[in-house]
Amino acid sequence: MFSRIIGTGSYLPDIVVTNFDLEQRMDTSDIWIRERTGIERRHILPEGQSNVDMAEHASRAAIAAAGLTPRDIEMISYGTTTPDLIFPNAGVLLQDRLGCHGGPAFALEAACSGFIYALAVADKFVRTGSVRRALVVGSEVLSRIVDQNDRSTAILFGDGAGAVVLEASEQPGIISTHLHADGSYKHLMYCTGGPSHGAAPGAMAAGDFVRMAGSEVFKLAVTLLGRVVDETLAANGLQKAAIDWLVPHQANMRIIQAVAKKLSLPMARVIVTVQDHGNTSTASVPLALDVGVRDGRIKRGDMLLLEALGGGVTWGSALLRY
């Protein structure tokens, strides 16, 4: 038994902040941001709207694309680092919005790898026959935990949500997932301000923002993502040429190019959204997947490699036949 993606959906907030807007606010430039990261604009969630609001839009779109109704969803696996509340968890809040009560619903925190982690967990539930249909979500409001005056992080991140519906299938589907973490790198990217640290999400104490040692993370990302790509191919006895599309985490164009090079894939076979979305953390992979599916580049039967790396560090990949 396999799990297969039968629908994708995504959501981006209406507010768009361009590099030129940022030039007005801080000591940076469009050219610096584009050359170092590939980012041109990012979407920011307006005051009064929340992570679960975006997740609901993305989920309804994915469920509709699957030809289902929300009541068909038996489980929710929700990756996020910026939940609405400490509890109930974001998966439960989303379940109530969708009205598909009763099955397991949880949020899982693995920074930018959160969607790959959430997908791997849901895949195992479907494969083992625990549920037939699962909703997997990545939704993030990183703008609320980034210091908007810090040019080293504010330029990088955006908000958004993506979702997929998995269904049990005798044909693949998800072929394999590969998850990793190494806490000895915890100092390279982190955000203080958790509840046991004294501040509740949404009420961050002064100075509790995302901190990142950018160039160290950059080098580590190229190394670890290259390694997980090799691991994924080797685990399945595949050559690089078997991959039709790379759907990478969208943190930095140069990291994406390095992984594509490792796979000997031309950039025309890589779904790139970093220019329009910035780094949307857990949302970036499902957002890119939905873009590639809806614009017709990704077709049924194509072999996809999804990968991401985030704070922790956590990293992972998923190989699947779409």
Segment (H or E) for 11: strand 2-11
- Footprint of ligand ACO on 174-193 (CB under 6 A): 189
Does 28 bind ligand ACO (CB under 6 A)? Our answer is yes
Comparing CB distances to ligand ACO, the nearer of 155 and 271 is 155
Q: How far is the CB of 167 from ligand ACO (least distance, A)?
A: 30
Comparing CB distances to ligand ACO, the nearer of 188 and 199 is 188
Long-range Cβ contacts of 217-220 (<8 Å, 24+ apart): 217/188, 217/189, 217/313, 218/252, 218/254, 218/255, 220/185, 220/188, 220/309, 220/313
Comparing CB distances to ligand ACO, the nearer of 158 and 310 is 310
The span from the CA of 313 to the CA of 186, in Å, is 6
3-state secondary structure 116-136: HHHHHHHHHHHHCCCCCEEEE
Identify the residue among 221, 271, 306, 320 touching ligand ACO (CB under 6 A). 221
Segment (H or E) for 234: helix 214-235
Does 218 bind ligand ACO (CB under 6 A)? Our answer is yes
The span from the CA of 309 to the CA of 293, in Å, is 22
- Footprint of ligand ACO on 262-291 (CB under 6 A): 279, 281
Strand partners, 7: 165
Comparing CB distances to ligand ACO, the nearer of 36 and 227 is 36
Does 39 bind ligand ACO (CB under 6 A)? Our answer is no
Interhelix angle 214-235/253-262, nearest 10 degrees: 30
Q: Which of 19, 57, 112, 277 is catalytic?
A: 112
Stretch that binds ligand ACO, among 30-38, 50-58, 86-94, 115-123 (CB under 6 A): 30-38
Identify the residue among 37, 80, 82, 273 touching ligand ACO (CB under 6 A). 37
Q: How far is the CB of 17 from ligand ACO (least distance, A)?
A: 13
Q: Which residue is nearest to ligand ACO (CB)?
A: 214
Q: How far is the CB of 232 from ligand ACO (least distance, A)?
A: 19
Does 112 bind ligand ACO (CB under 6 A)? Our answer is yes
112 part of the active site: yes
The residue assigned the tokens 């990291």 is 255
The residue assigned the tokens 């975006």 is 54
Identify the residue among 171, 184, 196, 215 touching ligand ACO (CB under 6 A). 215
Stretch that binds ligand ACO, among 60-68, 160-168, 256-264, 304-312 (CB under 6 A): 304-312
The span from the CA of 248 to the CA of 256, in Å, is 7
279 part of the active site: yes
The span from the CA of 76 to the CA of 78, in Å, is 6
| Through-space distance between the first and last CA atoms of the chain, rounded to whole angstroms | 15
Strand partners, 163: 9, 137
Evaluated on CA atoms 164, 169, 172, 177, the torsion sign reads positive
Stretch that binds ligand ACO, among 32-40, 116-124, 161-169, 291-299 (CB under 6 A): 32-40
Residues marked active site are found at: 112, 249, 279
Contacting positions for ligand ACO (CB under 6 A): 28, 32-33, 36-37, 111-112, 151-152, 155, 189, 214-215, 217-218, 221, 251-252, 255, 279, 281, 309-311
